[in-house]
Amino acid sequence: MPRTFLATLHFDGTGFVGWQRQREGRTVQSEVETVLERLAGQAVRVHAAGRTDAGVHALGMGVSFTLPDRWTPIALHRALNGLLPGDCYVAAVREAHSGFHARRCATERQYRYLIGTDPDCRSPFRRRFEWALGTPLSIDRLGPLAERIVGEHDFKALSVRASRRPHTRCEVRSAQWTERAHGQGVSFEIRANRFLHHMVRMVVGTMVEIALGRRHGADVERLLAQDPAVVTSPPAPAQGLYFMTAVYDDQWFA
């Protein structure tokens, strides 16, 4: 009988056109499925807790799939890291009960966004992993903006309008800006039950423009209220965004 697994995947999104398999371009999904097909001797479909865009990274993406019952979590963990490309890494493998699905069963997801505000943010060793803004940002101005999006709101105005989701309401359980170590800049952490396409990047882009004095502070509330006279700012660059983790009920695991 096939066994169901959850792999916790890290990846550097720089060389990918996103998570989801596409007609053209290298994707994380295709890399993982190619390796699993080799291990299983047959095609394997994988499901991720979220669908990241081109350039977005992950430090804890949940990926579920089924394999023949000869595979154990320990053996599978070793095999995946031996065969996946260098910009992917499996941190852990757990066996799950039949019916588990990494996206549908997730009760919460967390993202992080990094912004560099110091001159060294433009270093080639940093700029592919953060928004190299190079301009000071005030936590005193950003903090209250994050507090305004906590709770259940309609984020339609802060996402891609062409989204096919059945509804655009999300419950943001926490949102916080903090100073990064060594004066490198700021970090934004957000947890919610679900996220819309480009939602985090549009939230960050809008808050940064407010903090820089380029738009009014009340625009966050007006966007959440879907005021037709207000439009969101351009999304923050993809390379600053990280999928951090997905949360699942313990009942799914052996």
Give ranges for CATH 3.30.70.660 in the chain.
Answer: 108-244
Give the angle subtended at the CA of 229 by the CAs of 233 and 159, to the nearest 5°. Answer: 40
Residue 28 has pLDDT above 90, yes or no: yes
Residue 197's pLDDT band, with cuts at 50, 70 and 90, is: very high
Supply the pTM of this predicted model. Answer: 0.95
SS3 label, residue 201: helix
Catalytic residue selected from 12, 53, 118, 219:
53
Token pair of 12 as six digits = 């550097």
| DSSP state at residue 182 | G
Residue 253 φ then ψ, to 5°: -115, 145
User: pLDDT > 70: what percent of the chain?
Assistant: 98
Q: What CATH class does 3-105 carry? A: alpha beta
The confidence score (pLDDT) of residue 165 equals: 67
Give the angle subtended at the CA of 129 by the CAs of 201 and 121, to the nearest 5°. Answer: 100
| DSSP state at residue 236 | P
CA–CA gap between residue 49 and residue 61 (Å, rounded): 6
Helix or strand (DSSP H, E) at 246: strand 241-247
Give ranges for CATH 3.30.70.580 in the chain.
Answer: 3-105
Which tens digit of pLDDT belongs to each residue from 94-150?
Answer: 999 999 999 999 999 999 999 999 999 999 999 999 999 999 999 999 999 999 999
The confidence score (pLDDT) of residue 160 equals: 85
Average pLDDT of 75-90?
98
For 32, other C-beta atoms within 10 Å of its C-beta total 26
Is 53 marked active-site? Answer: yes
Q: Which listed CATH number (3.40.50.720, 3.40.50.920, 2.40.30.10, 3.30.70.660) goes with 108-244?
A: 3.30.70.660
CA–CA gap between residue 236 and residue 240 (Å, rounded): 8
